[in-house]
Amino acid sequence: MIEELKNKKIGVLMGGTSMEREVSLKSGNAILSALNRLGYNAVGVVIEDDALAPLKEQGIELAFIALHGGFGEDGRIQALLEFLKIPYTGSGVVASALAMNKPHSKAIFAQRGIPTPRFVPALSEEFVFDEMKFSVPVVVKPSCEGSTVGVSIVRERRDFSKALAEAKRYDDVPMVEEFIDGREITCGVLDGEALEVVEIVPISGFYDYQAKYTAGGSEYIVPAKLEPKIREYVRELSKRAYDALHCQGAARVDFRLHPEAGPFVLEINTIPGMTERSLLPMSAKAVGIDFDELVERILKNAMVKKK
């Protein structure tokens, strides 16, 4: 147990109002169980439309954020906690906001020489294909959503309008990204150090929301079967992406691995899932960090930030 937190009340923030609410509740309850096993005074704080009221009612002294998607990963809850002077886990306001906004984070990656698929705002079909000279297949996605919500792979230009309409259900200005053929891999980062690389093999061929959260929807290879130099390069890129946005605590970097061009960073998740099917715990376990230790390491970082 972290001595400084021995008599502190820890609130596990979960729920929220995003499309990822149910996943957040699962993550939050798993974290809460771990904190209780470790002997901490921890309570669940379920966030609805009004986040301020439950935070005040519970009187927590440290927040363990398990809110996925909007208001959890976009910097707003972090800003509220800073206003209330409540220490919290994970990245700060700016890093969270940048990571949640894919065009902004990808622009920073590109500036830092971190390979990421070419992208443009999805202003119109003509803009994407005629002016910007993209060719199918492309990926159409909301600019600020997680868990592959609203994401479509467009393999024929005639399907673009339908994909754009789907993405616009979640975002006013979605983005279009070149499709990178290859393998789906991810790597956790904890306190600035890369964990193990995990390969995801979706049964349907596309790692969408169902593949992520349905039992049997995907297979996971831990560690990913990669050549040693590719594995180390993926881990290096994970650290560079984490550092480029000034992330803190735990994060997860998602990639596509092209058979010839190598790895491309798709995005970084500053509040990765912490369910029994989540990738960060898999990545940590592969380097000898079990779930309870992972939770405590994330918690410890919040105290380091406070100082």
- Enzyme catalytic residues: 20, 147, 213, 252, 254, 267, 269, 273
Angle between helices 93-100 and 76-83 (to 10 degrees): 170
Distance of CA 159 to CAs 156, 164, 291, Å?
6, 9, 42
Whole-number Cα distances in Å, 54 to 11, 58, 68, 93, 236: 10, 6, 18, 20, 40
Count CB-CB contacts under 10 A for residue 132: 14
86 phi and psi angles, rounded to 5 deg: -105, 115
The answer, yes or no, to whether the previous bond of 259 is cis (omega within 30 of 0) is no
Q: Which residues pair with 120 in a beta bridge?
A: 176
| C-alpha distances in Å from residue 131, one per residue of 121, 126, 134 | 12, 7, 8
Q: Which amino acid is at 161?
A: S
User: In whole angstroms, what is the distance from residue 140 CA to residue 151 CA?
Assistant: 6
